[in-house]
Amino acid sequence: MGKLKAGTLIEVITASIIFMVVFIASFSVLSLLTPENRDAIELIDADYRASTIFRAFSNGQHQDGEYVTQYSWGKISATLEPYSAYSDLQQLSITVTFNNNRKRIIHKYVVERVQ
């Protein structure tokens, strides 16, 4: 077995330290660039509330107009309007707006109007 020179061992340790520093620095930068998902609970609640509003307004028994519901995280606007040239259909637009960011969720449906 051959003997290892002291210079080679120092070079290996130095290279390992440099690779480790570069890895840690790049990992830190990448973790800062990824968005935080702090508002996941708000998104889940908004999706649930929007589906509840859809079930309430999709029965076709509501008049045309805008219905707004306020929540702690934002508001949900449900807009019912006539659908094109068909008098027995309505367009239901549900828009979810958040207070703390610029996210919006928009759902559009066509529902049958009960006469």
The answer to whether the beta carbons of residues 66 and 78 sit under 8 Å apart is: yes
Per-residue pLDDT, averaged over 63-73, amounts to 91
Q: Which two tokens stand for residue 1?
A: 């077995």
Closest C-alpha to 57, from 35, 80, 85: 80
Per-residue pLDDT, averaged over 35-57, amounts to 85
Cα 14 to the chain's mean position, in Å?
44
Predicted local confidence at residue 40, as pLDDT: 79
Q: Which two tokens stand for residue 62?
A: 């509501």
Interatomic CA distance for residues 75 and 68, integer angstroms: 7
Per-domain residue ranges of the chain:
1-34, 40-112
Give me the CATH code for the 40-112 domain, please.
2.20.25
Q: What sign does the CA torsion over 34, 37, 38, 42 have? A: positive
Whether 15 shows a pLDDT value over 80: the answer reads yes
Whether 49 shows a pLDDT value over 90: the answer reads yes
The answer to whether the beta carbons of residues 112 and 103 sit under 8 Å apart is: no
Closest C-alpha to 74, from 107, 46, 37: 46
